[in-house]
A and B are shown apart, each in its own frame.
Chain A
Amino acid sequence: TQLLEQSPQFLSIQEGENLTVYCNSSSVFSSLQWYRQEPGEGPVLLVTVVTGGEVKKLKRLTFQFGDARKDSSLHITAAQPGDTGLYLCAVIYSGGGADGLTFGKGTHLIIQP
C-alpha cells in the first residue's frame, strides 16, 4: 500500500482543455508538495501547501490542500503542450531527525497540440 495515491496515472488531453489530478492518503500531513518532472530531468518544485483548505495559484495551475490535510488536487486551466510532464506529490518523511520526502507514483500528463 502506497502512502500517497495519485490519480489518474496517465492523462492525455488536447491543448486548451482543463484537467484535475489528485493526491490522496489516509494519513494526515503537516504539509504537502507538488513537483513536475520533464523527461531527462530531475523534479522541480511547484508549490508547498501547509494549511488545511489552502488554495495556491501559480499562473494556470491551482493547488488545493484538503481540509483534513489528507489529500490535495492540482487543477490546470487551458492546458498547453509545455505542461506535459510527470506530476508528483510528496510529503515529509521524518527518519527520527533528518527528513526526506515520500513521493506518490505520479500522474503522467501529455498535452497534445
Chain B
Amino acid sequence: ETGVTQTPRHLVMGMTNKKSLKCEQHLGHNAMYWYKQSAKKPLELMFVYSLEERVENNSVPSRFSPECPNSSHLFLHLHTLQPEDSALYLCASSQDRRTGGLTEAFFGQGTRLTVV
C-alpha cells in the first residue's frame, strides 16, 4: 500500500451533484489535511484534523464539508459546487508537532475535480 491514497483520481460533476473525495493513509500519522491547488493560486490549506481537533480555513465555503472518522481516513463531501471550484484537491498526512513531529506532509496524488 502506498503512503497516502486518494480516490477518485479524476471527477467531473455537475453543479447540482453531491460527491465525496476519499483519502486513506498507511503511515501511522495522527494528522490529516485537505489542500486545494488551483492554476493561479498557491496550495491552499482547507482543513486540518489533528489529535481529534478540527481546524478550518474560514475562507472555505460551506459547500465543502470534511469528515474524519479515524486517524487513517479523511473525506471531503462536495455539494452544489461552482465552476471556480474546479481544481486539484490534495490530501496529506503528518505527525503532529505536539507529538514530536515536524508537520512534514506526505501527500496523495490528488483528485482532479472539474465542475461543469
Contacts and interface: CB of A to CB of B under 8 A. Distances in A.
Contact of B110 (A2, A42, A93, A98): A42
A10 B4 CA distance: 29
Interface residues on B, range: 20 to 34
A97 B104 contact: no
A41 B109 contact: yes
Nearest to A103: B43
A4 B104 CA distance: 17
A35 B102 CA distance: 14
Interface centre among A48, A97, A98, A102 (most CB of B within 10 A): A98
B92 A98 contact: no
B107 A93 contact: no
Given A33-B104, A48-B104, A101-B103, A93 B45 contact: yes
A40 interface: yes
A95 interface: yes
Contacts of A104: 42
Interface residues on A, range: 20 to 34
Interface in A1-40: 2, 4, 31, 33, 35, 40
B96 A98 contact: yes
Interface in A78-110: 88, 90, 92-93, 95-106
A95 B48 contact: yes
Nearest to A95: B55
B55 A98 contact: yes
In the A-B complex, the 8 residue pairs with the closest CB atoms: A42-B107, A98-B50, A95-B55, A100-B45, A103-B43, A99-B103, A98-B55, A98-B48
16 contacts: A4-B42, A42-B4, A42-B92, A42-B107, A42-B109, A48-B104, A90-B43, A95-B48, A97-B53, A97-B55, A98-B49, A98-B51, A98-B96, A100-B33, A100-B55, A105-B42
Interface of A: 2, 4, 31, 33, 35, 40-45, 48, 88, 90, 92-93, 95-106
